[in-house]
Copies of this chain bind each other. A is one copy, B any other.
Amino acid sequence: MQIWNDYLAQHKDRFLKELLALLRIPSISADSAYKADVAHCAEAVQQSLLNAGVDNAEICLTSGHPIVYAEKIIDPSLPTILVYGHYDVQPADPLELWHSGPFEPVIKEGKIFARGACDDKGQMFMHVKAFEVLAQTNTLACNVKFMIEGEEEVGSTNLGPFLEQNKEKLKADIVLVSDTSMISMEHPSLETGLRGLAYMEVEVVGPNRDLHSGVYGGAVANPINILCKMIASLHDENNHITIPAFYDKVEELSDADKKALNAAPFDLKEYADELGVQEVWGEKGYSTLERTGTRPTLDVNGIWGGYIGEGAKTVLPSKANAKISMRLVPHQSSHEISEIFQKHFESIAPANVRVKVTAHHGGEPVVTPTDSVAYKAAAKAIQTAFGKEPIPTRGGGSIPIIALFEKTLGLKTVLMGFGLDNDNIHSPNEKYDVANYYKGIETIPYFHKYFAEMS
């Protein structure tokens, strides 16, 4: 629509500047040292929503970080879109690998470099700005509600209770989320599924104190060696996960689904080259797209034990730790898999060590329907803005809250992500292409329009 394009053209510099201001706030939810920054970021989001034209915007306190809620009801008889996003970000370390400060956004070669640039401040803010375009040009076709949380990166612990307590307030027809990626600007796509997550922390304790590895080496179990052995045993030679019952509820894709999934444009050599690896890795019998989209995984996210400073120390340490997470696929339950993992990990511990297993946050896998009005409206919006049909894909990441929307609010979700796989989310030098940011702001109003028309 010309009126939207004109408005965007007129305000695009400000739209970018406002995002950069938001990126300057180090809203790291995992680290309690940043609690005040997270609260400050919630206020900034609230203010930006008020400026964009919502009727009211509130900061909803939780026992963790606050949730920002806002709404604009133009006509109760029209469909309502509930926009979900998050303003918290991942920790920035390892800091030494960033080329510029994670919270000092810079634009280089058309890319915004900052922690949260893509995940999810950049993508969430597209909705605030798209709403501004609609509201300020008097072209809103749906009622809009915003629910922007501050704990997505730490498992959305307080969003579940918030949904329970605000069912009436959150009534809507669809949840709209931009917190995933698409294949490329040339191959726009829509995600139709997300993996779930079970995230564990394990500790292996041997002797009651650090020992001299000369005096005791070879005579006392070394917790690092034992932990390595236990972790190594979690995959077999085909890279299948060996935890009993782990795959029990995993469904194999139908041949047709397999074919559709593998039809997405994908160049294995380009993929490997971009990552700097000579060979990819994964479960035998599955393609890379199948592995990331449809198969459960187990990765060590962190490991530590013993002396890790400069030089050499001949210590046989008292304990060793690791953070281990599993990505889950439909029908697997985060809680169940956490329990299965714990039981198995404890069972494989030899008698000369003690093992402690605790669960961090988890999330359930989701599949979103492709035959719904909402999916069709999203597909048509992308067709209009990009001039191309979107390719349906399966995402490897997890947004724990999506499954809860359906369970608690009875709402389906549309995953309209504008990120790219090489955006370095959760990594140093996270970026978001300026073009993708603007393209999102251009596309979203069409979703509002088509969703109203098709509903």
Tell me the bound Cα distance from A97 to B305 in angstroms. 14
Scan residues 299-347 of chain A and give those whose CB is less than 8 A from a CB of chain B. 299-317, 320-323, 325, 327
> B303 contacts A218, CB within 8 Å?
no
**Are the CB atoms of B195 and A291 closer together than 8 Å?**
no
Q: A320 contacts which chain B residues (CB < 8 A)?
A: 303
On whether A275 and B208 interact (CB within 8 A), knowing A307-B302, A312-B155, the answer reads yes
The residue that A313 contacts in the complex, of B91, B219, B303, B395, with Cβ under 8 A, is: B91
29 pairs of residues in contact across A and B, judged by CB atoms under 8 Å: A30-B311, A94-B210, A209-B429, A210-B426, A212-B425, A213-B301, A213-B327, A214-B396, A214-B398, A215-B292, A215-B397, A215-B421, A216-B275, A218-B297, A218-B327, A218-B396, A219-B291, A221-B280, A224-B231, A224-B322, A225-B298, A229-B232, A281-B352, A301-B307, A301-B314, A308-B321, A313-B426, A314-B325, A315-B426
Residues in B whose Cβ lies below 8 Å from that of A181? 215
In the bound complex, do residue A396 and residue B30 qualify as a contact, i.e. CB atoms below 8 Å apart?
Answer: no
**Cα(A283)–Cα(B352), bound, Å:** 14
Known: A215-B425, A228-B303, A277-B352. 9 other contacts (CB 8 A): A30-B312, A91-B311, A213-B297, A214-B327, A215-B421, A219-B292, A280-B352, A302-B307, A313-B426
- Judge whether B197 and A214 touch: CB under 8 Å: yes
Q: Within the assembled complex, what's the spacing in Å between the Cα atoms of A297 and B211?
A: 14
State whether B302 touches A306 (Cβ < 8 A). Answer: yes
| Count of this chain's copies in the oligomeric assembly | 2
Question: Contact between A213 and B299 (Cβ–Cβ < 8 Å)?
Answer: yes
Footprint of B on A, CB under 8 Å?
30-32, 90-91, 93-94, 97, 154-155, 181, 195, 197, 199, 201, 206-222, 224-225, 227-229, 231-233, 235, 275-283, 288, 291-292, 295-317, 320-323, 325, 327, 350-353, 360-361, 395-398, 421, 424-429
